[in-house]
Structure 1
Amino acid sequence: MSDSRFSSLALSKEMLANLESLGYKAMTPIQEQSIPHVLQGKDLIARAKTGSGKTAAFGIGLLSRLNVRKYRVQTLVLCPTRELADQVGKELRRLARFTHNVKVLTLCGGMPFGPQIGSLEHGAHIVVGTPGRIQEHVRKGTLKLDDITTLVLDEADRMLDMGFRDAIADLASQTPSNRQTLLFSATYPEGIQDISREFQRKPVEVSVESHHDDTVIEQRFFLTTRNGRREALIKLMCHYQPESAVVFCNTKAECQEVANALSDEGFHAQAIHGDLDQRDRDRVLVQFANKSSSVLVATDVAARGLDIKDLQAVINYEVTRDAEVHIHRIGRTGRAGSKGLALSLYTEKEQYKIEDIEAYQMRPVEYGALAELKNQPVDILPPMVTLNIDGGKKNKVRPGDILGALTGDAGILGKYVGKIDIFDFCAYVAIDRSVANRALKHLQSGKIKGRQFRVRKLR
């Protein structure tokens, strides 16, 4: 029987103490299979889905091999999206707390270039970022890759989907040839094998089972027609009425149309796709994460890297062509011990896709009948409302300042204040719907940190 305790690994006492303080009890399967190889300096190709603990799987290993006294960029982590890069950067900083002066820098597109140059001039050990922005810094000479000992390709399959193949090749070619390369991917298409052959040396392959337990995720397939798909989706939503749901579409255009159709029926639905600018993308994700929006309509690429907690349902407006991607989609629900719901619409012509899913998960799927669903009236106003404040980090606004303004003079109880998100030039605060108007009026007429900011309520 394998030993899943972190103490069974060749880790420093400081690292073990930090893991314990962070609540890391035992290794997840991907950590158990990956960390020993990472510590030995081997190249690795690991198949694991989001939420499996993969950041710690490579983070613990690369931090243990870092030379802190050498103030050069030694590790480069490439991620498909800014959201994922931010998550990875935060987790690496938490894992690095056991060592003084480990500098982790996040460099992504959609953010001002100047401040990033300033941060690089102060030096860093680990850089996490999106391929396009990293390339830009390398081209301008503000980031040097000569001292890279570890290159991590996180969610490599999505980077390929998003067209980053050439950018990855360009960056890898500018790092030392004797570097360690760690490749993490939820799916394993041919392109991943090509990348591995080109950039890795004798990689160890590890894989974590990505099938889902029926007792955790209730999965149902519903037959519809091409023209009846939208009506069928509304019927599913009216019957199940999930408090939080992600609806997957295969195209950007379909995303917006479906979000509009759901909104017309009274659901608080918003679309997220590649055409949104960064500020709109941030706003949509904030509202969904803080429970002031109940439905997110997304493409696979746009949903990548989202860390969505307590997701009650995943609905496939269209069944994806790839069975492995389907399993990855529905794995976003039923986490952390809660029951999940996965509902999929299909037409007769798409029956072959369901057969592929059955073959992949090695068991038959369950079918449902749209005619048997109750068309109940929609009664799902999200529990929270988001207030948008035109002041952020650059105005020295902190979460505590906003909380203080609400719970102090306004007299709003802390239990009615939800998630607070601070960006460079704006902030968002979730307020319980029952006191949202009172909170809005107070913030509009009052002050935060001695200053008056423009405040508005998001729909």
Structure 2
Amino acid sequence: MTEFSKLPLAPELHQALGVLDYSQMTPVQAASLPPILAGRDVIAQARTGSGKTAAFGLGLLSKLDLAQTAVQSLVLCPTRELADQVGKEIRRLARFLPNLKVSVFCGGVPLRPHLASLTHLPHVVVGTPGRIQELIDEGALPLAQLRTVVLDEADRMLDMGFEAAIAGILSQAPKDRQTLLFSATFPEEIRALGRRFQRDPEEHTVADGEGGAIEQRFYEVEAPRKSDALALLLADLAPESALVFCNTRRDVADVAEDLAQRGFAVQALHGDLEQRERDEVLVCFANRSCAVLVATDVAARGLDIKDLPLVISYGLASDADTHTHRIGRTGRAGEDGLALALVASAERGRVVGIEEKLGKAVRWERIDLSRRPGRPAPAAMVTLVIDAGRQDKLRPGDVVGALTGEAGLPATAIGKIDGFATRTYVAIERSQANRALDRLRAGKIKGRSFRVRKLG
């Protein structure tokens, strides 16, 4: 069974699947959805971009009693970015379910607004373990009616030290709940988590090869020449976007600075950034106004960027599982991807573990470091910031209307629009960015004047 239409789902869910043009299930959906809908606990291994969110999203939505105002489903995620994405996908799947409330709760913001919002309990809660535990401790998030718990990217949550929080949350949940565990890798810690908190789970492993093909290439380059090699590869391949992994924050800063000096549209993502700075970096990368993102593994956890053609390991990952997570950022949703690794002689030993996981030898290639890289093209888009957002009732449609109406921009010049509580980011084609900025500053949106500026 590979067609969504054959699943025993509510008519409203089938209607949403039709609108979203979801017809054929991905391998992880075909494997996990039938037992989920049958009420079984499931532990599934599938890499990022395999369609797991729709799998557990449809499962938990199928079990809701919308007439009952209570927390009935809980999804735990390692990062705010992933939690936001999961919340959006569940809302998309539930668009035709009447009166459904989905809430997302993550750390990094004050607790008080979250407590206030829980005076009216949601049906579905998505969040990071630390913040969810805080809300439970405050007595604001009762779990007595919980029917489904999902641990999304469980291996990342354990890596980030959330095991105690997860255990505390699950120990307070009803014993007869359904527990779904999704992970990109299956280390012993994940199996132990399943044994501790699941009831006879049905286990499914979806091979990395199912979906888009990821081509891997390895280059032996000593540390002093890695910056030159990286610039050459980026210039030669000229990807619309690329994610570069470094092993330390210092390397992230140094590599980003070097690429910027060479003319690349680059941003750095690391743990020292404030939440707003992190949001803006990710917005620019996702909307194509930044072509290269340099990040540590910790900073990139939960990062979900669609249509990412290239991943480069500037420093080889210390273990094969981390390497698997890195390359899983590309080749998503049936698209092909390319993953490159720059390997110093001191890192050669790490390749052995990668080869053991792959079950074959990796592909080595040479790079001519005597060449000079060409000057990179500027990013296709420029991001404008409007200092108004959801709290001001400003919607993406209002921004599009102002740009295509009074500002006179063609709709094709407008890219991705990201709305936050107090600000809105809109990507504009580079050739039209100054015109859009001038017109928005001189005109009005929904009859009001807002501060508008370029980001960066």
The TM-score bracket by the shorter chain reads: over 0.9
Following superposition, the deviation at residue 33 of structure 1 comes to 1.3
CA RMSD of aligned residues (A): 2.0
1:80 is aligned, of 78, 87, 108, to 78
CA distance in 2, matches of 1:444, 1:12: 47
1:92 maps onto 2:90 in alignment: yes
CA distance in 2, matches of 1:291, 1:278: 20
1:327 is aligned, of 318, 324, 346, to 324
Q: How does 1:121-132 map to 2 (within 5 A)?
A: 121-132=119-130
1:433 is aligned, of 430, 434, 439, to 430
Tell me the SS of whatever aligns to 1:429. Answer: strand
Distance 1:381 1:121, change over 3 A: same
Distance 1:447 1:20, change over 3 A: closer
1:285 maps onto 2:282 in alignment: yes
Distance 1:216 1:192, change over 3 A: closer
Distance 1:336 1:142, change over 3 A: closer
**Counterpart of 2:116?**
118
2:7 is aligned, of 9, 18, 24, to 9
CA distance in 1, matches of 2:210, 2:254: 30
Write out per-residue CA displacement over residues 51-81 of structure 1, whole angstroms, 9 at most, x where no aligned residue.
1111121122222222222211111110111
Distance 1:176 1:405, change over 3 A: same
1:344 is aligned, of 320, 341, 344, to 341
**Counterpart of 1:205?**
203
**Counterpart of 1:368?**
365
Distance 1:190 1:338, change over 3 A: closer
Tell me the SS of whatever aligns to 1:227. Answer: helix
Instruction: Judge which range, 288-297 or 84-93, deviates more.
Output: 84-93
**Contact 2:50/2:333 (CA < 8 Å) preserved in 1?**
no
**Contact 2:5/2:23 (CA < 8 Å) preserved in 1?**
no
**Counterpart of 1:309?**
306
1:45 is aligned, of 32, 43, 46, to 43
**Contact 1:239/1:375 (CA < 8 Å) preserved in 2?**
no
Q: How does 1:144-293 map to 2 (within 5 A)?
A: 144-211=142-209, 216-293=213-290
**Counterpart of 1:405?**
402
AA at the equivalent of 1:454: R
CA distance in 2, matches of 1:453, 1:136: 36
Identity of aligned residues (%): 55
Write out per-residue CA displacement over residues 86-130 of structure 1, whole angstroms, 9 at most, x where no aligned residue.
111121122223432222111122344343333321221111111
**Contact 1:244/1:295 (CA < 8 Å) preserved in 2?**
yes
**Counterpart of 1:355?**
352
CA distance in 1, matches of 2:241, 2:259: 13
Distance 1:211 1:251, change over 3 A: farther
CA distance in 1, matches of 2:209, 2:325: 9
CA distance in 1, matches of 2:86, 2:293: 23
Instruction: Judge which range, 158-167 or 354-363, deviates more.
Output: 354-363
1:36 is aligned, of 34, 47, 50, to 34
**Counterpart of 2:105?**
107
Following superposition, the deviation at residue 156 of structure 1 comes to 0.7
1:447 maps onto 2:440 in alignment: no
Tell me the SS of whatever aligns to 1:38. Answer: helix
CA distance in 2, matches of 1:71, 1:389: 36
Q: How does 1:415-430 map to 2 (within 5 A)?
A: 415-430=412-427
**Contact 1:235/1:373 (CA < 8 Å) preserved in 2?**
no
Tell me the SS of whatever aligns to 1:218. Answer: strand
Tell me the SS of whatever aligns to 1:293. Answer: coil
Tell me the SS of whatever aligns to 2:368. Answer: helix
Write out per-residue CA displacement over residues 194-233 of structure 1, whole angstroms, 9 at most, x where no aligned residue.
22222122222111002478x9433211111133322322
Distance 1:98 1:334, change over 3 A: same
AA at the equivalent of 2:242: A
CA distance in 2, matches of 1:335, 1:342: 12
Distance 1:336 1:174, change over 3 A: closer
**Contact 1:212/1:327 (CA < 8 Å) preserved in 2?**
no
Unpaired runs of at least 5, structure 2: none
CA distance in 1, matches of 2:72, 2:181: 17
CA distance in 2, matches of 1:40, 1:218: 37
Unpaired runs of at least 5, structure 1: none
* TM-score in terms of structure 1 length: 0.94
Write out per-residue CA displacement over residues 218-274 of structure 1, whole angstroms, 9 at most, x where no aligned residue.
321111113332232223223322221000112223212211111111111111122
Count of residue pairs brought into register by the alignment: 456
Instruction: Judge which range, 188-197 or 133-142, deviates more.
Output: 188-197
Write out per-residue CA displacement over residues 114-160 of structure 1, whole angstroms, 9 at most, x where no aligned residue.
43333321221111111111111111111111211211111111111
CA distance in 1, matches of 2:96, 2:36: 19
**Contact 1:104/1:124 (CA < 8 Å) preserved in 2?**
yes
**Contact 2:399/2:445 (CA < 8 Å) preserved in 1?**
yes
Write out per-residue CA displacement over residues 9-40 of structure 1, whole angstroms, 9 at most, x where no aligned residue.
33334433432332111221111111122122
AA at the equivalent of 1:93: R
Tell me the SS of whatever aligns to 1:187. Answer: coil
**Contact 2:51/2:333 (CA < 8 Å) preserved in 1?**
no
